[in-house]
Amino acid sequence: MEVSEELCAEDRARVGAYWWKRAEGEITSWVGFGHVLDDLRLEGSPATILALAERAVADEHRHAMFCRDWAVRFGHPGGEPTPRGERALAFPGAAPRENRLLRIALCCFTETVGCFTLRYVRPFLRHAELKKLNQRHTADELLHSRVGWGHLSVMGEPERDVLRASLQALFALLQDACCAGSEEEREDLIPFGYFTSSLLRQAHDDALQEVIRPGLRHLGIASAE
């Protein structure tokens, strides 16, 4: 039986629209990671990190395409997903170099949260295709998070000062990016690719508590507080 046939028409449409929303998010990440790759080059990031970032750009485009294809399988009319914006993210009052460092850090944080989201979704998945996709997506997301963490680990003290001064702004933007969507509490739809608001919130909170804050402390960017 086709996965989508397990749902009523209304829920198929809801899940199809959500996969399309995910496709738009992934194609936006493709654009954003392209900006981060440029930032890393300008910052003189090591070749190994640049290679990971180049792969991440290609991965994000591939992710958008598989989300598009799943949207169609659930009845969405399809087409080409378009990014929600193409301009590089800019922080109020930040100089060009500060913006580069902050974009790299934010990308690091969002990809880390993505690892938690995909991990928390996994127990709900019953279909072999979606389980395999989740495993591949999680592996990609882990490598993507290493781009940012890798660069943060080789930054000098002046660059770390930039991040220290903007951590609260970064955390606020991270929360907005990860938790401010319109997702409903439909746990019955998670096996089909739908992320609930509470799942996204839990992934954000746990990633911040278990990886992001400890990682920043380990690198000397954040204090024990």
pLDDT of residue 51 exceeding 60: yes
Of the pLDDT bands very low, low, confident and very high (cuts 50, 70, 90), residue 4 is confident
Dihedral, CA atoms, 63, 66, 67, 69, nearest 10 degrees? Answer: 160
CA distances to 50, 91, 178, 219 from 164, rounded to whole Å, are: 24, 14, 21, 11
Angle at which helix 157-179 crosses helix 96-121, to 10 degrees, equals 50
Q: Are 150 and 48 in contact (CB under 8 A)?
A: yes
Of all residues in the chain, the percent with pLDDT exceeding 90 is 96
Q: Which residue has the tokens 């738009």?
A: 24
Residue ranges per structural domain of the chain: 3-218
Q: Are 209 and 196 in contact (CB under 8 A)?
A: no
3-218: CATH class: mainly alpha
Q: Are 75 and 135 in contact (CB under 8 A)?
A: no
pLDDT of residue 225 exceeding 60: no
pLDDT in tens, 60-91: 999 999 999 999 999 999 999 999 999 999 99
pLDDT in tens, 100-157: 999 999 999 999 999 999 999 999 999 999 999 999 999 999 999 999 999 999 999 9
pLDDT of residue 224 exceeding 70: no
pLDDT in tens, 184-198: 999 999 999 999 999
